[in-house]
Amino acid sequence: MIKENDKFRSDYAAMNLHDYDITTMAKEAGREEGLIEGAHNKAVENAKNLLKEGDSPEKVSRCIGLPLEEIKKLAEEVAAEKQQQKE
């Protein structure tokens, strides 16, 4: 009976450790994903600010590190926002 109890405790502890590992890994992955998304959002914000200051999409792409196609789309957004402000 004691050996069965020890085995049960050992198995239970292993299950809890496994669950803890999975939970910890999921939290770390979520945190990392959030950091990446936050960095991208900040890059987009900086790119828009540079475009508003009149920098070319090519220069912004080089400086910020976002793809030129994404910068061109942001440039269109910035131009549309300026147009709305004029109206």
Q: Are 27 and 54 in contact (CB under 8 A)?
A: no
Name the pTM for this structure: 0.69
State the pLDDT confidence band at 80, using cuts at 50, 70 and 90. very high
Q: What are phi and psi of 55, to 5 degrees?
A: -70, 150
Q: Above 80 in pLDDT, residue 1?
A: no
* Segment 19-62, tens digit of pLDDT: 666 777 777 888 889 889 999 999 999 999 999 999 999 999 99
Given this model, what pLDDT does residue 68 score? Answer: 97
Show Cβ contacts of residue 52 under 8 Å, excluding neighbours closer than 6 positions. 78, 82
Averaged pLDDT of the chain: 85
What is the distance between the alpha carbons of residues 74 and 65, in angstroms, rounded to a whole number? 14
What is the distance between the alpha carbons of residues 20 and 67, in angstroms, rounded to a whole number? 39
What is the distance between the alpha carbons of residues 74 and 11, in angstroms, rounded to a whole number? 55
